[in-house]
């Protein structure tokens, strides 16, 4: 009896600015303009296939996830590569960050699983990577768990999405229609949140009023961010425009985000740290970043983490992820 195994891993994504572009009939053309940070921590999966009746058993070895996302990922893969249907699959999933907190974990999970399944069957790496992004984008749109996280993760690093849609599409897995660009350096960041879960992404992106206010504010900021070379020289501009976006979109004053932001900002100011807290969209969480990404941006954050945890926050130190 044939047994195959494969491993996949994908980092998370924090959205700082976005639009809702879901009017197109074809899912491949739906998505988001925007900008954000791709981070190292995300989802790790191990797929094990035993020759036999097609099916899947999913086990979350760390964190609490949603099985439907992984079931749909395998189903779509099996439609493109018939050999997947010759196996009964076990999938072990390790969630390194919580769901529904604005960390792009649905996209991360679908990409990771799609890679694990394909590696188990020995599919070529570059083709597998493109197919993983294409399928994950479709899963995200079908389940209304995200818009542009997959396209953002396809760029990696500090990313901007300059065209809405899937990053790869079609039988030949060509690039686009979604287009994203990224740059990266050694940027350490802190993710912080409280246990009470944020709203599900669909409660915003499927709501007409929110779609209009978010897109209006997002387009205004992206009209500037899409111009010129994308690199470290744009860091301060990204931070400034993300703050304007959350205010003008109305997201800052929703779900107690303003109170959360003010509480953490006050801690940072008292400790006199050169750090900036930003909202992770669409969660009730923050990513705390250095104001400057130059050579001297390595700031001792232990005092801040200590204060955050005393105030009931969960924290994780991570880095901006590498480019794919």
What's the number of domains the chain is made of?
2
For residues 120-131, average pLDDT: 97
Whether residue 128 lies inside any domain: the answer is yes
Look up the CATH number of the domain holding residue 211. Answer: 3.30.70
Whether residue 200 lies inside any domain: the answer is yes
Look up the CATH number of the domain holding residue 27. Answer: 3.30.230.10
CB 159 within 8 A of CB 37: yes
Dig out the tokens for 203 from the structure.
């409660």
Same-domain check for residues 133 and 20? yes
Count Cβ atoms below 10 Å from residue 241 Cβ, excluding itself: 19
Largest CA distance in the chain: 63
Q: What is the pLDDT of residue 148?
A: 96
CB 107 within 8 A of CB 146: yes
Cα–Cα distance, 236 to 218 (Å, whole number): 17
Same-domain check for residues 48 and 122? yes
Whether residue 220 lies inside any domain: the answer is yes
Q: Which of 148, 164, 182 is the last residue of a domain?
A: 182
Same-domain check for residues 133 and 149? yes
- State yes or no: pLDDT of 228 exceeds 60: yes
Same-domain check for residues 90 and 232? no
Same-domain check for residues 17 and 127? yes
Whether residue 156 lies inside any domain: the answer is yes
> Which has the minimum average pLDDT: 94-98, 124-128, 274-278, 281-285?
281-285
Same-domain check for residues 175 and 200? no
Residue 61 DSSP one-character state: E
Q: Which of 156, 182, 208 is the last residue of a domain?
A: 182
Same-domain check for residues 233 and 158? no
Same-domain check for residues 15 and 126? yes
For the chain, the first-to-last Cα distance in angstroms comes to 35
Whether residue 215 lies inside any domain: the answer is yes
Name the residue range of residue 20's domain: 3-182
pLDDT tens-digit series, residues 254-285: 878 999 999 999 999 999 999 999 999 988 89
Same-domain check for residues 213 and 159? no
Cα–Cα distance, 55 to 68 (Å, whole number): 13
Same-domain check for residues 161 and 274? no
Cα–Cα distance, 138 to 79 (Å, whole number): 13
Whether residue 324 lies inside any domain: the answer is no
Cα–Cα distance, 154 to 136 (Å, whole number): 11
Whether residue 57 lies inside any domain: the answer is yes
CB 287 within 8 A of CB 297: no
- State yes or no: pLDDT of 64 exceeds 90: no
For residues 135-143, average pLDDT: 97
Dig out the tokens for 207 from the structure.
């709501």
Same-domain check for residues 244 and 212? yes
Same-domain check for residues 162 and 198? no
Q: What is the pLDDT of residue 294?
A: 73
Q: Which of 128, 154, 182 is the last residue of a domain?
A: 182
pTM of the model: 0.95
Cα–Cα distance, 218 to 34 (Å, whole number): 7
For residues 35-56, average pLDDT: 97
How far apart, in Å, are the Cα atoms of 8 and each of 98, 112, 117, 147, 268?
18, 5, 8, 22, 36
């Amino acid at each position: 009896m044939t047994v195959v195994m494969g491993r996949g891993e994908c980092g998370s994504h924090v959205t700082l600015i976005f639009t809702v572009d879901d009017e197109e009939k074809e899912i491949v053309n739906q998505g988001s303009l925007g900008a954000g940070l791709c981070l190292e921590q995300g989802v790790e999966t191990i797929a094990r296939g035993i020759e036999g009746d097609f099916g899947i058993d999913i086990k979350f070895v760390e964190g609490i996830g949603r099985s439907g996302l992984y079931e749909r990922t395998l189903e779509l893969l099996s439609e493109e590569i018939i050999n997947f249907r010759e196996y009964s699959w076990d999938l072990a999933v390790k969630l390194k960050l919580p769901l529904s907190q604005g960390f792009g974990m649905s996209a991360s999970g679908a990409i990771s699983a799609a890679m694990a399944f394909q590696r188990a069957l020995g599919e070529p790496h570059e083709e597998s990577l493109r197919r993983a992004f294409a399928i994950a984008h479709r899963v995200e749109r079908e389940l209304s768990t995200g818009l542009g996280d997959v396209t953002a993760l396809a760029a990696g690093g500090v990313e901007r999405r300059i065209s809405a849609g899937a990053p790869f599409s079609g039988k030949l897995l060509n690039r686009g229609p979604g287009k994203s660009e990224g740059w990266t350096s050694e940027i350490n960041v802190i993710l912080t949140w409280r246990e009470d879960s944020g709203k599900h992404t669909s409660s915003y992106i499927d709501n007409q009023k929110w779609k209009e206010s978010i897109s209006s504010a997002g387009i205004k900021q992206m009209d500037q961010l899409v111009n010129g070379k994308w690199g470290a020289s744009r860091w301060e501009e990204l931070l400034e425009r993300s703050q304007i976006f959350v205010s003008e979109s109305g997201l800052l004053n929703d779900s107690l985000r303003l109170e959360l932001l003010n509480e953490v900002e006050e801690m940072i100011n008292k400790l006199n740290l050169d750090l900036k807290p930003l909202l992770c969209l669409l969660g009730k969480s923050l990513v705390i970043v250095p104001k400057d990404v130059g050579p001297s941006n390595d700031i001792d954050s232990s005092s801040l983490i200590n204060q955050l945890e005393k105030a009931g926050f969960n924290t994780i130190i991570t880095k901006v992820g590498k480019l794919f």
